[in-house]
Amino acid sequence: MEAKKHKNTHKGAALLFLVFSLLFFVLFARFVQLQVTGVADGQVLAAKAEEKYKQKRTIEARRGTIFDRNGEALAEDTPSYTVVAVLDPKMTTDPSHPKHVVDPEMTAKKLAPLLDMDVSEVERVLKKKAKQVEFGTHGRNISYELKKKIEALKLPGIGFIRDTKRFYPNGTFASHIIGYAQKTEKSGNETIGIMGLEKSLNDYLREKDGYVAFRGDSEGFRLPDTKETIVPPDNGDNVYLTIDQKIQTFLEDSMNQVEKQYKPKKIIAIVANPKTGEILAMGTRPSFDPNKRNIENYLNDAISYPYEPGSTMKIFTLAAAINEGVYNGNELYRSGSYKVGPNEIRDHNRVGWGTISFNEGVQRSSNVAFAILVKEKLGEDRFLQYLHRFHFHEKTGIDLPGEAVGNIVYKYPIEKLTTAFGQGTSVTPIQQIQAATAIANGGKMMKPYVIDRIVDPDTKKVVVEHHPEVVGQPITKETAQKVLDILETVVTSENGTGRPYQIEGYQVAGKTGTAQIPSPKGGYLTGYDNYIFSFLGMAPKENPQLLMYVAVQQPKLSYTETGAAPVSMIFNTVMKNSLQYLNIRPSSKSIETKEEKKGISLESYVGVPVEEAVQELKEKGLTPIVIGNGGQIEAQLPSAGEDVIAGERVILKTNGKAVMPDIRGWSLRDIMKVVELLHLQPSMKGYGYAVTQNIRPGTEVKKDDYLIVELAKPEKWKERMKEEKKTNTKKDSGKPVD
């Protein structure tokens, strides 16, 4: 029995040995196979091991910033946060310090007001069957300030995911130029330009994240003695525009005021440097805030809206006639109407002004005068050549997306003449700006542009750079000057339609426009305010530094107002503030009065003792004003050799500390003498004589200090002084002041 049992034991052992031997050889064969091929189940084992132990961290790149000409950011990436709520109870290991939302009702009640959501809506999100939830658009792209407010509530389970968003610090500001960029579902986590320069320059602005890769343990820590791979982020290129933030702000503010007061259907305005073609400001209404994207009109009307310009077109007809030598401003013609075959051209008042000169015709904006110039003086074919010389037949090529082109309607005889005064033919505002640079720039026509340069922020290398470009010379320098001289009379003449566009201290040259609006039913719209009112002007006339076009479509006017009211509100405000901001001095000619014609030649008092200079000036009947506490004169205005009139103020700066005089009651001309001598930054409000000044009299002043002065007409100034005298009397007598 024992022998049999022993025998079975040996058989079992042999069988087990055989099984284990077989398993060993199978495993050994598999091991050899893996060693030789490095592949298991179709996957490369080395790659899987690398994937398991290789750690990768993203290095965020920044989308390029859009700056104005002075380096002020107009569009930039800024930190943003997404609010999240952890609902998984497993995330809490210590009940006394919960890491998930414990009380949805209480959390919803406190969180909802900050996210601008209903309490019930937040509560519904917090009761979802999920480990972690977000709050939709209300919880995304929140600011750092809001994040801090939410954190202060110390709500268990409420956390944040850090991100970046595109931010436009000025809100509604050159919005159709800049456009906007955002992250969409299609773009994943990438910011993509959707409109404007953000879209057209997306390839330059676009960023590419970098990363650092290394071998790490299961906890994510880098293993010792291992190399790391670093791919640096590729930040987007920075874009510098020709837009000036200050001038653009002047424009936006004035358009807001007109929009509020007159409720027009459209406003279009452009400010340019006629010497270079640089666009300093451009705006339209309706506009939008790129942060909110409340867009009504996706087109930039300044470059995309062709329409009949009206009488601003007469500038170029006049230039053509002068350039061809066929314009005689003193020649007389019969205004009122002009027959063209079966048609008749009429002046805007229907009856004209009798027999007048062509110069007066320009001032009064006579359609008949310009029809005669083309038909009888210039010739229709030659006029068409000038329309082409001024490039009204093609796009300007401005570096903005969406530019349209007008249409020269020039088939029938009547169309050839109506084009002379801006009817029938359509052009865009930017085409008019480009053509007008030839008038303001000695005959040379400059291509408009808004992109100054594009710069790589890491290497500082300039990737793209634009320079002023002459695109033609349709007229001579002499012609340009003659056109300016005549256009100045449109603003200054008693008969001029441009009288509302006078700016005290500066000579303005320009032309008004009242354009008819085509009706969908045919013909033109009728009604007191169914027009596009416009003005194309430049200043200072003697050497224009700024060129500006403003158009206001269908404003709600009272019966006592003309279309010039809303247009001049924009033009005058922006032009005057911009000229002062650019330190362009008022012209002595523009503020000269009849009494100033008879003058005294001024001597130099530089180096002369103060008492001696003051005494001598008083003897000559002049009014010396001493600035400073030094003993000798260091500088003076007016300068030696200039003619002055009896009683005129002569500003004397001494070699001591400069102090501010009391300038209340002074004219703008006298104030500007102080500004120039002390190198101040002026800001003038109103017209007439100074009634307030921000720098107290007797206060020490330094170079580039801001001098803010409120001006008023003589009668208002006198009232103000009387009120101030009463106030001072009440103060002195101890009576209460109202």
| Sign, Cα dihedral of 87, 89, 90, 94 | positive
Angle between helices 144-152 and 104-115 (to 10 degrees): 150
- Give CA–CA dist 441/543, Å, rounded: 8
- Give CA–CA dist 270/283, Å, rounded: 7
Buried b (16+ CB within 10 A) or exposed e, 435-448: bbbbbbbbbbbbbb
- Give CA–CA dist 102/108, Å, rounded: 11
567 touches 534 (CB < 8 A): yes
Look up residue 142 and give its DSSP letter. B
Give the list of residues 6+ apart from residue 643 with CB closer than 8 angstroms, or none.
Answer: 599, 600, 601, 602
For residue 363, what is the enclosing H or E element?
helix 358-364
* Listed residue (425, 187, 479) closest to 315, CA to CA: 479
**Which residues make beta-bridge pairs with 692?**
710
Give the list of residues 6+ apart from residue 722 with CB closer than 8 angstroms, or none.
Answer: none
How far lies 561's CA from each of 110, 269, 365, 528, 567, in Å? 54, 21, 19, 10, 12
- Give CA–CA dist 114/724, Å, rounded: 49
- Per DSSP, the chain holds a count of helices (H) and strands (E) of 21, 33
Percent helix, strand and coil across the chain, each rounded to 5? 35, 25, 40
Q: Where are the alpha helices (DSSP H) in 493-538?
A: none
Give the CA count within 13 Å in the CB-facing half-sphere of 418: 22
**Which residues make beta-bridge pairs with 534?**
513, 551
Tokens in use for 445? 């026509």
- Which residue numbers are catalytic? 311
